[in-house]
Every structure is written in structure tokens, then in C-alpha cells.
Amino acid sequence: MSKVKQNKETRSRFELKMLLETSRLLIESRETDFVLNNLLLITMGKMLVPRGAILIQVPGKNEYIITKIKGRSRLSEGDRIEIPWSPNEFDRIAIDPQKLGLNSPELFEGQNRGLYFNLKTSNHHLGYLYLSRKGNDELLSDHEIEFIESLSIISSVAIANSRMFSEMREINRKLDRKVYELNTLFDLSKDFSLMVDREKIASTFKFALLGQLLIRKFFLIYNMNGKLELMASSGLQKAPNKKQRKQIFDLPEDILELQPEHYEALPFLKENEIAALTALQLQGEKTAVVGVSKKANKEDLTRPDFNFLQSLGNLAILSIQKTLFLEERIEKEKLEEEINIAKNIQKGLFPETLPNIPNLDLAAKNIPSQQVGGDYYDIVETPDANFITAIGDVTGKGIPAALLMANLQSMLHVLLPVDITLGEATGRINNLIYENTPSDKFITFFWAKYFHAESRLKYINAGHNPPLLLRKEKNEFEELSEGGLILGAMPTLTPYEETAITLNNGDILVMYTDGVTETFNRIGEEYGEENLQKLILENRSQSAGELIDTIVQDVKNFNAGKLADDLTLIVIKAT
């Protein structure tokens, strides 16, 4: 074997060994920077090349970042250049721009001659390894180019592997952070779920922001039943006023990183170094807005930071919502308790038992549409041993109507011992109601005094549904409508007029409120006075109590048991 051939074999074995060792070193490395640095240094040192660079492609662009560069150059690491050819145009790894007539970018001063080695895997182009001519201006030999091509292929795999490892490491880091944040949110959710004090909720929210996101300045604006409240804040020079809260809340974006135009419109945000706003929603409706500064280390908030902020904010507003529901429940229970007390008090205002009046069969019933109502009736003995019967209806329902009804009852009982006529008493009651109640509150009122020795009834109707008088053996009704204006509409300018009638054996007098006749069925038909008269005629032989039960049941059947208004009846049957 010749000495030249022996030297070539020895060199080939050496290069193969070097290639294997280098490939093992590069492939085992998990750092991209280490791979690129060794690729450049090994090739330059092996080939005695004074200038070299590694260019890594910007994804999706015909632009390259100078990642590594050795030798005098007008460019630096991190600079970007364009390559005026596509890597897909060539099958070979080594590209000689001069031979191919390509306009190569000038990487080095006065030196534009060299080779570009394509760094690529089977699927992706990564960039180029650039090597200038040797120091003695010689070209690289075919054997040397093959060696560098082999090393470029190995390095490309190593670069791809290190990138994949870096991506996996970054994914794992993000997953670790996400797990940590989820554990933090889980712990905070348990804390929030136990809180019923809004100040404590605000304090926990504040310290979570400080501890997890290093945010020292923030505010939380909450929409509480249409009123924008500052629920929590920290580090602000001055709290936002009502107008500022509305302007902030009305900004449309879910996450808004503030720009100069926002600071110009809302100087409050700039004065307090607020960098971003985040909207919080419940059931698809904007419920709150959190404004936050940059982190204490002056870093901007990232998308994961905003995600954590929104999750934390949602926990806080859910807890706030829970406290509001709890307060509403307590208020409701308190109101229900007060209503029950009012119901019992109102029940005590009606006569517990009806008096026994000679020659009269009496019955009365009141059914409020709510727990308390505004209907009123009374049957009471007067000092002269006669009897007063009264029925009234206050406008509206519920507690306000019940209070006015109680006032009417007390006024009536105060005036009973006073020796005045029904007309004078009605005038006084009207004036008291007019002077002491709102202008939209009125009372329809009918009352009568029965003189049992003469079987005579004197009455006054103050705008109430006219009671129906059915005479014995007659089929037509008389309506007791004489009197005057509804109570409380205006002061008494003209006296209320009394009218007297005689009740004979077999006569029936039915007094009622509009809850009887002005009730409706499912198709919108009104019960009406005609139905009431027809029912009374058909059941005139019944006792007073039986007739009331019959009327009540017929009304309930008509409206399917759903009373829209209070219902009150008094039936007097002469015997």
C-alpha cells in the first residue's frame, strides 16, 4: 500500500471517529446554543476558516437571525438579514452562491465568498451554516465539504432535538405553574366559600394579588343592583368617583391593556399607575371590573397572569354575590317575620266574634290576596246600644294598604263614643285621611248605623261598591249608593249625606269589596255584579253564613283560586 493511500485512510478513520464523537456530543446536548456554538467552532477550526456564521430562520418568513458569528463583520449576533433564495430550490446541502449566480448577502467586510450549508431535517428548514474561504483564500475541497455536510445533517437533528426539548421544558414549566395556580385557586376557593364578610373577601383578594402576581395597586368595581361600588382597592392616591367608576365600567373589552388615549380620557388611571383593566362576568353578564398596575418588578402582565386574575376575580365576586344573597335572605326572613306579626295584628283588628243583634242574621269574611291586605270590615255596638257596620277598601295591597286600613279602624273606634251623626263623623275621617296620607292613597268606604228597635238603617257610601239590597219576594236589587266622595281624595267641602232604609223580615243586604266582582278568569272575563246578583237570587233561602260561603266558592271557581285582590263580604239577613 502506498504511503499516500495509507495517509488518506488514516485521515478518513480520524475524520469518521471525530464525526462520531462530535455527533454524540451534539445529539446528547439539550441546549441549542451549545449545539450551534460547537458546530461553528468545530467546522471553522477543522477547516481553518477565519470567518463563519450561523443563520436561523424566523418561522414563516424569508428572514434570518444571525445567531452566531465569528470574524470581523459589520453585523452582530441578533441582527436580521434576508436570504434572496429559497432553501427548497436546491437538493444539496452545500450552496455556492457564486457558482449559482446568486446575490449573496454581505456578512463580512470585503468578503462575500463562501458556502452556505443548509441546516434542515427531513421536514423542516432551520437555517444556514456559512463558512468563508480558508485563511489562505483556498476553496474547501469536495472531501471537506462532504465532512461539513455530514456534520450539518447531524447538527440539524441535534438542533431539532434541543428545540423540542426546550419546548417540552417550557411546556412543563407552564404546566407546573398552571398546577400551582390551580392549587392556589383551589385553596382560595375554600377560603372564599367560608367568608360572609365582604371586607374579609376584599382583604383576601388583595393579598392574593400581592402574593401571586406582585400587584401592589388595584381596584375592584362591582355592579351592585345597578349601582357601581368600589368593593376593594390598594395603593390608590384617591378612590374613583361615581362618574369615573361608570366610565371605567363602560369600557367594552374583557382585557384592556391601557393606551395613551385611555389615560387622556381617564387621567385617574394614569395618576394611579393602572396598566390594565379586566372585566369579570357572571352568567354571561358583566358584573365587575378589576384595574391593576404592573407588577412590583415592573414587568408587564402576561396572558396567563390575566387568566389567573380573572379566575381569582370570579372567586371574589362569587363570594360577594353570596354575601348579598345571604343579606337578602336575612332581610326576607326578617320581612316575613314582620309580615306575620302584621298579619296577626291585622287579624286582631277584625271582630273576633260578631255581635248578637235582635232580628238580624249576620255573617262576615275577609280573605287577603297577600299575607296582609287593605280591605276592612267591622260590626260593633255603639254607646246607645245600637250597631255600626262598616266595610272599606284601601287602594293597593300589602303592608302599606294594611297600615292605612288600621288607621281607618282606629279613627272609627275613636269616633264611636262621640255624639255626632254619621255624616259629621265621615267628614272628620275624610279630612284626617286627606291630611295624613300620600295623594295616591284613597279609601272606598261604606258604613251604616242600625237602630234595631225600629229595624231602621242609616248609611253613608263614600265611593264604595254599592251594597245590594234584595227585598223579600222581589227579584230586583236596590243599590245603596248615596253619600259622598271617596275618602282621602280631597278635603270635606260639602257634608256627607245620610240615607235611611228599613229592613223588613226576609230582606237581604250584601256588602262587598271589588275583590268579589272585579276578579278575572283565565280568558280575561270579569266576574261582575251580574253574576253576583244571580248567585244571591238563586241562594236567597240560605243563611247569612251559608250565602257568604257560596259566594266565596263561586268566585274561587271562576278565577281558579287565584285572588288578584283582597276579598271581603258582609251579609245581613233580616229575620
- Reading the chain (575 residues) residue by residue, the pLDDT tens digits are 455 444 444 455 555 566 566 666 666 666 888 889 888 988 898 889 999 999 999 987 889 999 999 988 888 999 999 988 888 777 678 888 888 888 888 888 766 688 999 998 888 899 999 999 888 888 888 888 888 888 888 888 888 888 888 777 777 676 666 666 666 666 667 776 766 677 787 788 887 877 778 888 889 998 988 899 888 888 888 889 999 999 999 988 888 888 999 999 899 999 999 999 988 888 788 889 999 999 888 888 888 888 888 888 888 888 877 877 877 787 887 777 766 766 676 676 788 889 888 889 999 999 887 766 678 899 998 888 899 999 999 887 667 777 788 888 888 888 888 888 999 999 999 998 898 888 788 899 999 999 988 999 999 999 999 999 999 988 999 999 999 999 998 999 899 999 999 999 999 999 999 989 999 988 889 999 999 999 999 999 999 999 999 999 999 999 887 877 889 999 999 98
Whether residue 30 contacts residue 162, with contact meaning beta carbons closer than 8 Å, is answered with yes
Fold match flag (195-325 vs 350-574): no
Round to whole Å and give the CA distance between 121 and 1.
40
Half-sphere exposure of 405 (CA within 13 A, CB side): 31
Between the alpha carbon of residue 276 and those of residues 255, 269, 285, the distances in Å are 7, 9, 20
Angle of the 544-558 helix axis to the 528-538 helix axis, nearest 10: 140
- Going by the DSSP 8-state scheme, the letter that residue 210 receives in this structure is I
Count of Cβ atoms closer than 10 Å to residue 147 Cβ: 20
- Backbone phi and psi for residue 542, each to the nearest 5 degrees, phi listed first: -70, 160
The pLDDT assigned to 443 comes to 92
**Secondary structure class of 349 (helix, strand, coil):** helix
Q: Which CATH number fits domain 195-325: 3.30.450.40, 3.40.190.10, 3.40.50.720, 3.90.1150.10?
A: 3.30.450.40
Nearest to 496 by CA among 481, 477, 509: 481
Whether residue 464 contacts residue 374, with contact meaning beta carbons closer than 8 Å, is answered with no
Give me the residue spans of the domains in the chain: 3-166, 195-325, 350-574
Nearest to 483 by CA among 423, 433, 424, 441: 423
Beta bridge partners of 375: 393
The pLDDT assigned to 461 comes to 97
Give Rg (Cα) of the chain.
Answer: 48
CA angle 397, 399, 402 (to 5 degrees): 75
Round to whole Å and give the CA distance between 15 and 147.
8
For residues 94-109, one letter each, b for 16 or more C-beta atoms within 10 angstroms of the residue's C-beta and e for the rest, the string is bbbbeeeebebbebbe
- Going by the DSSP 8-state scheme, the letter that residue 415 receives in this structure is H
Strands 456-462 and 483-484 turn out to be: parallel
Round to whole Å and give the CA distance between 208 and 21.
52
Distance from CA of residue 375 to its chain's centroid?
A: 41
**Secondary structure class of 229 (helix, strand, coil):** strand
**Secondary structure class of 82 (helix, strand, coil):** strand
Q: Give the pTM.
A: 0.52
The pLDDT assigned to 7 comes to 47
- Domain 3-166: CATH class, spelled out: alpha beta
Torsion of CA 55, 58, 63, 67, to 10 degrees: -30
CA angle 359, 363, 369 (to 5 degrees): 160
CATH tag, 350-574: 3.60.40.10
Greatest CA separation found in the chain? 160
User: Residues in the chain, how many?
Assistant: 575
